[in-house]
């Protein structure tokens, strides 16, 4: 999570949307960088509302705006799948080594997800709260030029975005049946992605 106090902007760190690169590019200019523990670095709207918003409100931050980046759902799951192929996870319940992407997505769509497929949901991450706290600026991961343009205008400086924490390349093809299952199970994620800038 990156906080830009003077610009009244909080950039939430949705996992697998380039958050490490954004932290490198913008961290030195941010008022606050939350990079550890992961539960706070990747605080969704509900956790921001519970922990950070009350603190900001007490010091005059009632008008902070939230920004988030979401990724096309198949691509987002593909990034998780590839990340969990890495050697340091081998032999652990969260590893996807030796498994095809189709099997990973089917496990993700199951009612009780196994540990390797328990990666949350982007729609839940950005879900508005009953008190009105919501993401005001929602960008597609695939629209990096639009996001960079918005941030350069809002923050007032040129941005050079590096590539960091890139997952290993793997095939992420889905059978038509599995893709249909994913689109049905995760309709909210596809709808939110389609509505983003």
**What is the residue range of 114's domain?**
2-195
Which of residues 165 and 7 earns the better pLDDT score? Answer: 7
Q: Which of 57-61, 109-113, 180-184 has the lowest mean pLDDT?
A: 57-61
User: pLDDT for 167-179, tens place per residue?
Assistant: 556 678 899 999 9
Percent over 90 (pLDDT), the chain = 92
Burial of 112 (0-12, 13-18, 19+ CB in 10 A): exposed
How much is the pLDDT for 163? Answer: 74
Task: Identify which of 7, 16, 15, 28 has the alpha carbon closest to the alpha carbon of residue 160.
Answer: 28
How much is the pLDDT for 119? Answer: 97
CATH number of the domain within which 107 lies: 3.40.50
**Average pLDDT rounded to a whole number, residues 41-63:** 95
- Write out the two tokens for 101: 């992407």
pTM for the whole structure: 0.93
Residue 164 has pLDDT above 80, yes or no: no
User: pLDDT for 120-129, tens place per residue?
Assistant: 999 999 999 9
**Average pLDDT rounded to a whole number, residues 143-170:** 86
How much is the pLDDT for 113? Answer: 97
User: pLDDT for 68-87, tens place per residue?
Assistant: 999 999 999 999 999 999 98
Q: How confident is the model at residue 7 (pLDDT cuts 50, 70, 90)?
A: very high
How much is the pLDDT for 61? Answer: 84
Q: What is the 3-class SS of the chain, one letter each residue?
A: CEEECCCCEEECCCCCCCHHHHHHHHHHHCCEECCCCHHHHCCCHHHHHHHHHHHHHHCCCCCCEEEEEECCHHHHHHHHHHHCCCHHHCCCCCCCCCCCHHHHHHHHHCCCCCHHHCCCCHHHHCCCCCCCCCEEEEEECCCHHHHHHHHHHHHCCCCCCCCCCCCCCCCCCCCHHHHHHHHHHCHHHHHHHHHCC
**Average pLDDT rounded to a whole number, residues 127-152:** 97
**Average pLDDT rounded to a whole number, residues 14-38:** 95
Cα distance from N-terminal residue to C-terminal residue, the chain:
20
Q: How many domains does the chain have?
A: 1
Q: Which of 27-36, 157-166, 177-186 has the lowest mean pLDDT?
A: 157-166
How much is the pLDDT for 102? Answer: 97
């Amino acid at each position: 999570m990156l906080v830009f106090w003077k610009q009244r902007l909080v950039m939430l760190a949705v996992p697998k949307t380039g958050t490490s690169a954004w932290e490198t590019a913008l961290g030195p200019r941010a008022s606050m960088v939350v990079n550890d523990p992961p539960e706070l670095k990747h605080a969704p709207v509900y956790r921001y509302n519970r922990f950070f918003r009350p603190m900001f409100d007490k010091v005059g931050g009632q008008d902070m705006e939230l920004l988030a980046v979401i990724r096309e759902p198949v691509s987002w799951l593909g990034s998780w799948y590839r990340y969990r192929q890495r050697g340091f996870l081998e032999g652990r319940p969260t590893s996807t080594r030796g498994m095809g992407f189709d099997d990973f997505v089917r496990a993700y769509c199951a009612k009780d997800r196994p540990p390797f497929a328990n990666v949350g949901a982007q729609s839940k991450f950005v879900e508005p709260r009953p008190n009105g706290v919501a993401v005001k600026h929602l960008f597609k991961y695939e629209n990096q030029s639009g996001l960079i343009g918005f941030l350069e205008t809002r923050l007032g400086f040129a941005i050079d975005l590096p590539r960091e924490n890139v997952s290993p390349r793997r095939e992420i093809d889905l059978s038509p049946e599995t893709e249909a299952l994913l689109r049905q199970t995760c309709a909210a994620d596809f709808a939110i992605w389609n509505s983003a800038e």
